[in-house]
């Protein structure tokens, strides 16, 4: 998380944005993928797309919040602070625990750890970005994409997931030359259409009750 946060800080500085932008964003937003996408779109002069893309990416937190609401705590202040610390990793580790008490400890331990390391990494990236002038010198610009690829590789073993991912990537590549920055990534969601398959209609005479094998099995019961 420190390395990815450093990548975010360095890339933001490389875009020419003020130093306080990545620091403040990491403190009050704390949403890695949305932060990378937002600074890229802001730097490209498309802040409206940055807001819409952030809302779309973080919409998954609505069902996440319902799943781990009890783990955050019983009181309103616990849930307000806990909701700010909620990330994909926090939810995954929390739901892996069966005992309610262990779930609560895991939620807060992972949440605080990730929040601290992300912000420390962002500060480090801001400093390194300002010192080197070019984050590609240290390879920090590649840290986040490499991390994402590592995370999704196990999921690509599933045929349907692999098909949707490849279709989405193809859509994004084709639309990149013709659409403003950031929009091709959103259009990659069209790759989900690859999972839509028409239901095969059973022939008129092909009914389970008329299948000889089914009738024979029913007769033996």
pLDDT in tens, 95-125: 878 888 888 898 899 889 989 998 998 888 8
DSSP 101: H
Query: Is 0.95 surpassed by the pTM of this model?
Result: no
pLDDT digit string, tens, across residues 140-185 = 556 656 666 766 677 678 888 888 888 888 888 898 888 766 667 7
- How far apart, in Å, are the Cα atoms of 41 and each of 48, 57, 90, 189, 203? 9, 14, 27, 18, 52
Per-residue pLDDT at 115: 92
Domain that holds residue 80: 2-152
In a domain, 217, yes or no: no
Burial class from Cβ neighbours inside 10 Å (0-12, 13-18, 19+) for residue 111 reads buried
Is the four-CA dihedral 160, 168, 142, 34 of positive or negative sign?
A: negative
Domain count, the chain: 2
Co-location of 94 and 187 in the same domain: no
Are residues 167 and 140 part of one domain? no
Confidence (pLDDT) at 214? 44
Rounded Cα distance, 1 and 136, in Å: 18
The reply to whether 10 and 101 lie within a common domain is: yes
Q: Which of 11-20, 34-43, 200-209 has the lowest mean pLDDT?
A: 200-209
pLDDT tens per residue, range 34-72:
787 788 778 777 777 778 777 777 777 787 788 888 888
Q: Are residues 169 and 136 in the same domain?
A: no
Most confidently predicted of 36-50, 75-89, 125-139, 191-205: 75-89
Query: Are 112 and 175 found together in one domain?
Result: no
Residues 81, 179 within the same domain: no
- Do 80 and 184 sit in the same domain of this protein? no
């Amino acid at each position: 998380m420190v390395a990815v946060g450093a990548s975010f800080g360095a890339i933001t500085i490389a875009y020419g944005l003020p130093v306080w932008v990545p620091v403040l964003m990491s403190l009050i937003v704390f949403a890695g993928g949305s932060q990378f996408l937002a600074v890229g779109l802001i730097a490209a002069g498309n802040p409206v797309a940055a807001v819409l893309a952030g809302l779309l990416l973080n919409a998954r937190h609505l069902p996440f919040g319902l799943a781990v609401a009890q783990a955050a705590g019983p009181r309103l202040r616990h849930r307000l602070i806990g909701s700010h610390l909620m990330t994909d990793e926090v939810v995954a580790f929390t739901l892996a625990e069966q005992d309610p008490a262990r779930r609560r400890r895991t939620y807060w331990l992972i949440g605080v750890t990730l929040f601290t390391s992300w912000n420390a990494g962002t500060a480090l990236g801001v400093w390194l970005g300002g010192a080197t002038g070019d984050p590609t010198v240290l390879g920090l610009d590649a840290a986040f994409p490499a991390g994402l690829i590592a995370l999704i590789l196990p999921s690509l073993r599933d045929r349907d997931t692999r098909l949707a991912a490849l279709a989405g990537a193809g859509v994004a590549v084709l639309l990149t030359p013709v659409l403003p920055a950031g929009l091709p990534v959103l259009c990659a969601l069209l790759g989900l259409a690859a999972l839509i398959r028409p239901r095969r209609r059973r022939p008129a005479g092909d009914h389970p009750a008329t299948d000889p094998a089914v009738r024979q099995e029913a007769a033996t019961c």
